[in-house]
C-alpha cells in the first residue's frame, strides 16, 4: 500500500515522467472527469436543496481543503481552538475520525476532562487534538450531525469546529475555511485519480476564507480572484521523547539522527529538519495513518542501526511508545504561524457572526 501511495503521488506531481507513466496518466483522465462531474452534481443537489443539510443551533466553522493529503489542517484547528478559548469561548472539535476503528455512532475522544479513546480507536488527528487541547471536547462521528446534536444537548460548548469538512455538506456551516498548499495550491488541476483534487477548482466559490499554508514568499495574498491569507510552518524549539523527556532541538541537531514519518507529506517534514540543520543520516516514509507494528517497527529499527536518535512527528508519536525502539525516539511539533493573524481572526469572526 505504501508503494502504491508513493507511486500515485509521484505520478500526479509536477516533474519529468517516463513514457509508461505519461500513458497511464492519460488513461486516468476520463475517470478524473467522471469523478469531478459526479461531485459537481452532488454539490448542485445540495445547492438546490434536493439533498438536506443539518443546521446547528451553534455556530459552525469548517476547516477543510480541496486536495487530498496534508495542508496543515490539524495545526490550524489547534490554533483556532486556542484563539477562541483566549476570548472566553468554549469550542468543541468534531472529526470524521478517518482510520479509527470506533464502532459507536458517536465516539467521545475527550469531554474536555481527560482522553477516553486511544489513537487506534479514534484516529491520529482527533487524538492529537485532544491531547493538545485537554479542556476542549473532541468527538468523532461518521455522520457528524449526530455528534453536533449531542453537543447541542450537552449545552457545554458555544462553538463547533469541523475538521476536514469542506466536502461534508450534510452539515451547514457558518464559515468555510479552506487551506491550500502554497507550493502547489491545485496540484496539477485534476480531480482524483489523475490528480489530487477532491472536486473541480470551481468549488472554491463556496469558501468564505482561504489560507495558504507553507508559504515561503509574500506573494499569495490573492488566489483565483479571492483574498487569501498566508501562513508558514516551523518546527518547535523543543522535542519530546516518547518517554516524556524534553530536549532542545539544538541538542538533537548534534546527534546522528534517523527520521521517519507516516503522514500525508513526509518529505515536507524531512525537509524542515534539514533546513534547521539536523544531521539526518537516513529517513523512511510510510503511508498516511500507518499502523506501527511488527514488520514496520523492525524496518525502522534495522534502518536506524548505528544512529544516536530517532525523530518523528507528533501525529506519528500518538501511536508509539518508547519500548518499541532500540534508540531514544523524539517527536517534534510542527507549529503554524499565520501572517496578519489578528486580521485573519477578525475576518473569520465577522463571517461567523454575520450569518
Res. 1: pLDDT tops 60:
no
Cα 315–chain centre separation: 10
Rounded distance, CA 248 to CA 244, Å?
13
* Burial of 10 (C-beta count, 10 Å sphere; 0-12/13-18/19+): exposed
Domain boundaries, the chain: 60-232+337-353, 234-334
First-residue to last-residue Cα distance in the chain: 44
Query: In sequence order, what are the residues at sequence separation of 6 or more whose Cβ sits closer than 8 angstroms to the Cβ of residue 118?
Result: 127
Q: Average of pLDDT values for 261-274?
A: 92
Q: Hey, how many other C-beta atoms are within 10 angstroms of the C-beta on 110?
A: 24
43 touches 199 (CB < 8 A): yes
Query: In sequence order, what are the residues at sequence separation of 6 or more whose Cβ sits closer than 8 angstroms to the Cβ of residue 65?
Result: 71, 73, 164, 166, 178, 179, 180, 198
pLDDT value of position 70: 78
- Binning pLDDT at 50, 70 and 90, where does residue 3 land? low
Helix (H/G/I), strand (E/B), else coil: 59: coil
Architecture of domain 60-232+337-353: 3-Layer(aba) Sandwich (3.40)
Q: If residue 131 lies in a helix (H) or strand (E), which one and from where to where?
A: helix 124-132
For β-strands 226-241 and 222-223, DSSP reports them as antiparallel
134 touches 127 (CB < 8 A): no
125 touches 95 (CB < 8 A): yes
Q: Taking the CA atoms of 297, 300, 304 and 305 in sequence, report the sign of the dihedral they define.
A: positive
Domains 60-232+337-353 and 234-334 alike in fold: yes
Q: Average of pLDDT values for 269-274?
A: 94
Name the nearest CA neighbour of 76 among 353, 351, 336, 329.
Answer: 336
For β-strands 257-261 and 280-285, DSSP reports them as parallel
Question: C-alpha distances in angstroms, 299 versus 303, 305, 308, 311, 341?
Answer: 6, 10, 16, 15, 42
Following DSSP, what letter does each residue of 281-349 receive, concatenated? EEEEE--TT----HHHHHHHHHHTTT-SEEEEEHHHHTT--GGG-SS-EEEEEEEEEETTHHHHHHHHH
Res. 221: pLDDT tops 80:
no
- Binning pLDDT at 50, 70 and 90, where does residue 98 land? confident
Q: pLDDT tens digits for 298-346?
A: 999 999 999 999 999 999 999 999 999 999 999 999 999 999 999 999 9
Q: Hey, how many other C-beta atoms are within 10 angstroms of the C-beta on 1?
A: 8
pLDDT value of position 220: 67
pLDDT value of position 20: 87
Q: Average of pLDDT values for 94-121?
A: 95
Query: In sequence order, what are the residues at sequence separation of 6 or more whose Cβ sits closer than 8 angstroms to the Cβ of residue 355?
Result: 174, 175
pLDDT value of position 264: 86
Phi, psi (5° rounding) for residue 25? -60, -40
pLDDT value of position 15: 75
Question: C-alpha distances in angstroms, 94 versus 68, 122, 300?
Answer: 19, 11, 33
Q: Average of pLDDT values for 94-116?
A: 94
Phi, psi (5° rounding) for residue 209? -155, 135
The CATH code of domain 234-334 reads: 3.40.50
Res. 6: pLDDT tops 90:
no
Q: pLDDT tens digits for 52-65?
A: 999 999 999 999 99
Q: Average of pLDDT values for 32-47?
A: 98
Amino acid at each position: 500500500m505504501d508503494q502504491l501511495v508513493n507511486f500515485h503521488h509521484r505520478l500526479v506531481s509536477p516533474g519529468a515522467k517516463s513514457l509508461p507513466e505519461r500513458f497511464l496518466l492519460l488513461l486516468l483522465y476520463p475517470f478524473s472527469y467522471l469523478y469531478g462531474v459526479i461531485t459537481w452534481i452532488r454539490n448542485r443537489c445540495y445547492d438546490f436543496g434536493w439533498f438536506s443539510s443539518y443546521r446547528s443551533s451553534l455556530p459552525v466553522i469548517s476547516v477543510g481543503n480541496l486536495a487530498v493529503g496534508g495542508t496543515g489542517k490539524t495545526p490550524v484547528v489547534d490554533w483556532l481552538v486556542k484563539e477562541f478559548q483566549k476570548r472566553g469561548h468554549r469550542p468543541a472539535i468534531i472529526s470524521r475520525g478517518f482510520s479509527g476503528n470506533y464502532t459507536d455512532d458517536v465516539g467521545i475522544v475527550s469531554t474536555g476532562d481527560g482522553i477516553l479513546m486511544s489513537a487506534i480507536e479514534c484516529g491520529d488527528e482527533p487524538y492529537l487534538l485532544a491531547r493538545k487541547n485537554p479542556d476542549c471536547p473532541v468527538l468523532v462521528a461518521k455522520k457528524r450531525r449526530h455528534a453536533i446534536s449531542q453537543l447541542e444537548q450537552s449545552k457545554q460548548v458555544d462553538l463547533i469546529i469541523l475538521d476536514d469538512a469542506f466536502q461534508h455538506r450534510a452539515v451547514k456551516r457558518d464559515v468555510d475555511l479552506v487551506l491550500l498548499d502554497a507550493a502547489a495550491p491545485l496540484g496539477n488541476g485534476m480531480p482524483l485519480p489523475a490528480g489530487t483534487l477532491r472536486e473541480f477548482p470551481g468549488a472554491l466559490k463556496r469558501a468564505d476564507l482561504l489560507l495558504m499554508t507553507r508559504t515561503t514568499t509574500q506573494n499569495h495574498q490573492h488566489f483565483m480572484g479571492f483574498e487569501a491569507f498566508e501562513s508558514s510552518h516551523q518546527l518547535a524549539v523543543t522535542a519530546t521523547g516518547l518517554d516524556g523527556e524534553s530536549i532542545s532541538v539544538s541538542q538533537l541537531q548534534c546527534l546522528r539522527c534517523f527520521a521517519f514519518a507516516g503522514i500525508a507529506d513526509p518529505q515536507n517534514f524531512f525537509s524542515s529538519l534539514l533546513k534547521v540543520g539536523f544531521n539526518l543520516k537516513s529517513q523512511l516514509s510510510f503511508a498516511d495513518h500507518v499502523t506501527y507494528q511488527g514488520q514496520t517497527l523492525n524496518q525502522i529499527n534495522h534502518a536506524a542501526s548505528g544512529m544516536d536518535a530517532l525523530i518523528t512527528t507528533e501525529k506519528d508519536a500518538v501511536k508509539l511508545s518508547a519500548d518499541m525502539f532500540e534508540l531514544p525516539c523524539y517527536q517534534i511539533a510542527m507549529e503554524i504561524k499565520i501572517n496578519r493573524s489578528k486580521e485573519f481572526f477578525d475576518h473569520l469572526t465577522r463571517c461567523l457572526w454575520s450569518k
